[in-house]
């Protein structure tokens, strides 16, 4: 059973940085595509970033390109989301997810495993 646990969320001022971590069960990170999604109250969960199982490809939603970086450490079974130049509109609960897809999955239905989420709040 794949288990994912996010951490690193918090309150930060606009322009600041946070690094989210997602600790996964053994071998998940090295064999699954790993994604980050976010959700605000009343809105659908939206795709943020994905890294393929091989780490060769990363893909981002347009609103975070150039500001966010997804990476992973297979030895630590951990995926990261480095978030720089944060904006108030980045405020959301951020979720880590794992997918068996061998491409760059970006749809919610592509992912079979989810973490519990971590809150990120960016003040103006």
Per-residue pLDDT of 98-117, as tens digits, reads 999 988 999 999 999 999 99
pLDDT at 25: 87
Question: What is the tens place of the pLDDT at every residue in 36-58?
Answer: 999 999 999 999 999 999 888 99
Residue 42: Cβ within 10 Å count: 5
| Distance, CA of 71 to CA of 79 (rounded, Å) | 6
CA-CA distance, 28 to 111, in Å (whole number)?
13
Rounded Cα gap, residues 31 and 37, in angstroms? 19
Percent of the chain with pLDDT over 90: 88
Task: Answer yes or no: is pLDDT of 29 > 90.
Answer: no
DSSP string, 11-61: EEETT--EEEEEEESTTHHHHSEEEEEEE-TTS--EEEEEE-TTSS-EEE-
Average pLDDT over residues 14-33: 93
Read off the DSSP letter of residue 63.
G
CA distances from 52 to 41, 45, 105, 121 (A): 29, 20, 8, 27
Q: What is the DSSP letter of 28?
A: H
């Amino acid at each position: 059973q794949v288990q994912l646990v996010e951490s690193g969320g918090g309150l930060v001022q606009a322009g600041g940085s946070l690094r989210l971590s997602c600790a996964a069960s053994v071998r998940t990170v090295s064999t699954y595509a790993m994604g980050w999604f976010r959700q605000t109250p009343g809105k659908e969960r939206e795709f943020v970033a994905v890294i393929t199982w091989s780490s060769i490809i990363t893909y981002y939603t347009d609103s975070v390109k150039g500001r966010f970086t997804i990476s992973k450490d297979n030895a630590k079974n951990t995926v990261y989301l480095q978030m720089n130049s944060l904006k108030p509109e980045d405020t959301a609960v951020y979720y880590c997810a794992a997918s068996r897809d061998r491409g760059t999955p970006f749809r919610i239905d592509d992912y079979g495993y989810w973490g519990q989420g971590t809150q990120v709040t960016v003040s103006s």
